[in-house]
Amino acid sequence: MQAEVTERGPHSLLIRLGKRTFDVTFDADGKTLLLDLGSRQVAVEILDPLAGHAEAPVIGIGGGRREVRASMPGKVVAVKVKVGDRVEKGQGLLILEAMKMENEVVAPCHGKVATVAVEPGQTIETGSLLAAVE
């Protein structure tokens, strides 16, 4: 899931995540931000789409097999598909927890799941193969 972030002023953001909106203040801490949500603090990493990061890098552009790899280390929370399942582009394949946030990894194209390389509870590193669709 992607978030829409609007800067409201120094150390203040408005974040829209799906149907929810958060008014947050923050203090920078190296590569992470500590967000004060009023009732709790949350540490998050901000990914710059212009820096070449993607939620789930895909290898194999064009036809054929498309591999989905982890863009950051994390833990597999749930696997929503199995080998042989037909999927639509954008359909959820699995859920990863990274920086205490759950992120849905989606199918890069229409096709059949060729590989599911992870299982719930598994810790993964950046670049790890998650799944493949062909």
**SS3 assignment for the chain:** CCEEEEEEECCEEEEEECCEEEEEEEEEECCEEEEECCCCEEEEECCCHHHCCCCCCEECCCCCCEEEECCCCEEEEEECCCCCCEECCCCEEEEEEECCEEEEEECCCCEEEEEECCCCCCEECCCCEEEEEC
Same structural domain, 73 and 25? no
Q: What is the mean pLDDT of residues 62-72?
A: 77
Band (32; pLDDT cuts 50, 70, 90): low
User: What is the domain count for the chain?
Assistant: 2
pLDDT score at 122:
96
pLDDT score at 53:
39
pTM above 0.75, yes or no: no
Same structural domain, 26 and 77? no
Average pLDDT of every residue of the chain: 77
Band (94; pLDDT cuts 50, 70, 90): very high
* Domain residue limits at 13: 3-46
Same structural domain, 59 and 112? yes
